[in-house]
């Protein structure tokens, strides 16, 4: 199987765990309809499992199935699950915050725990964990999401250092605004401007500012892996914010606010 062709064809940034060997792909997702749709778009053998990434034992069982089903070596493991909640810290629902952290961080942690031993045994392969541009900057009413994505970033960076000399690599992905359903599927309590009455309005706004298509995001990630990059920034907004926070670590949001006001006046 052509890894590049497979990677271009899959729908990225859905709640998914993806594993690719040189010949086969394995997909796990909680959404069976989306899972089957994605699997049908991939040429070649595909193993699919309905799986909640928060379920550590479920991930361990899936890894055992993949090891038995896939020919060695295991090439790429993508931990890509992500959800969000829009709410302020002062009146946040702790249950919603926990949901975000359990999926976004513990889902990644479970995936690494399940598949890393296989890669260490074969002394090859790459683990790719999806953080976010919000793993680079803090943003109002996204505290839990930012915390989870900063956690993914730190966890992957530490893992990368541990893997020195093992033949296994780890990379972290920082997508900017990608045209996906993450906002449409969010839990909603309030937004930081007080403009949106519900998640539908918030999703409509997100659709107008997200500039990167899933296909382009997949291409950027694939190229980053091919170049063995440790950090892969997806979209010009991710590159810009990464640079901004380096030059203005405590003042970056002042710049973001000014840019937002200019963009909003121009509509």
pLDDT of amino acid 24: 86
Out of 56-65, 98-107, 218-227, least confident range: 218-227
Instruction: Name the residue among 197, 78, 81, 93 with its Cα closest to residue 129.
Output: 78
User: Residue 72: what pLDDT?
Assistant: 77
Residue 33 inside a domain? The answer is yes
- CATH code for the domain in which residue 93 is found: 3.40.50.720
Residues 218-231, mean pLDDT to the nearest whole number = 92
Q: Choose the most confident range, by mean pLDDT, from 19-33, 152-166, 194-208, 233-247.
A: 152-166
Contacts of 92 (CB under 8 A, 6+ apart): 85, 143, 144, 189
Contact present, 171 and 128 (Cβ < 8 Å): yes
Average predicted confidence (pLDDT) for the chain: 83
Predicted pLDDT at 237: 85
Rounded to two decimals, what is the model's pTM? Answer: 0.85
Tell me, yes or no, if 8 is annotated catalytic: no
Residue 108 lies in a domain: yes
pLDDT in tens, 31-59: 888 888 888 888 888 999 999 999 999 99
147 has a pLDDT exceeding 80: yes
| Residues 122/74, Cβ–Cβ less than 8 Å | yes
Indicate the range of 120-129, 134-143, 199-208 predicted with least confidence. 199-208
Counted domains in the chain: 1
Residue 244: inside a domain: no
Give the model confidence (pLDDT) of 210-224 as tens digits: 577 778 888 899 899
State the Cα–Cα distance between residues 17 and 176, nearest whole angstrom.
20
- Classify residue 249: in a domain, yes or no: no
Domain enclosing residue 218, as ranges: 3-236
Do strands 16-21 and 25-29 pair parallel, antiparallel, or not at all (unpaired)?
A: antiparallel
The candidate with the shortest Cα–Cα distance to 16, out of 33, 32, 36, 30, is 30
- Burial pattern 53-77, b for ≥16 Cβ within 10 A else e, equals bbeeebbeebbeebbeebeeebbbb
Please check whether residue 265 lies inside any domain of the structure: no
CA atoms within 13 Å, Cβ hemisphere of 116: 17
Could you give the CA distance from residue 40 to residue 22 in angstroms, rounded to a whole number?
18
Domain assignment present for residue 230? The answer is yes
Task: Please give the pLDDT value at position 155.
Answer: 98
Interatomic CA distance for residues 189 and 61, integer angstroms: 36
Report pLDDT digits (tens) over 78-101.
Answer: 999 888 888 889 989 999 999 999
Residue 254 lies in a domain: no
Tell me whether residue 15 is in a domain. yes
Q: What is the pLDDT of residue 10?
A: 41
């Amino acid at each position: 199987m052509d890894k590049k062709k497979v990677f271009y064809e899959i729908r990225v940034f859905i709640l998914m765990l993806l594993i690719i060997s040189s010949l086969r792909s394995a997909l796990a997702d909680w959404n069976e309809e989306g899972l089957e749709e994605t699997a049908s778009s991939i040429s070649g053998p595909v193993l699919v499992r309905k799986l909640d990434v928060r379920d550590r034992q479920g991930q361990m069982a899936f890894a055992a199935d993949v090891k038995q089903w896939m020919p060695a070596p295991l090439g790429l493991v993508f931990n890509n699950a992500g959800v969000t909640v829009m709410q302020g810290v002062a009146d946040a629902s702790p249950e919603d915050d926990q949901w975000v952290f359990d999926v976004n961080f513990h889902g990644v942690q479970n995936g690494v725990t399940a598949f890393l031993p296989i890669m260490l045994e074969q002394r090859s392969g790459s683990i790719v964990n999806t953080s976010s541009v919000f793993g680079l900057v803090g943003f109002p009413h996204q505290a839990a999401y930012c915390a989870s994505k900063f956690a993914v970033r730190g966890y992957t960076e530490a893992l990368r250092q541990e893997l020195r000399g093992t033949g296994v690599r780890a990379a972290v992905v920082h997508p900017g605004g990608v045209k996906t359903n993450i906002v449409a599927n969010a839990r909603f309590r309030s937004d930081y401007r007080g403009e949106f009455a519900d998640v539908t309005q918030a999703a409509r706004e997100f659709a107008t500012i997200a500039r990167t298509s899933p296909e382009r995001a997949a291409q950027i990630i694939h190229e980053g892996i091919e170049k063995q990059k440790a950090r892969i920034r997806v979209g010009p907004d991710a590159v810009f914010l990464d640079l901004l926070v380096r030059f203005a670590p405590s003042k970056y949001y002042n710049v973001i606010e000014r840019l937002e006001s200019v963009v909003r006046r121009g509509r």
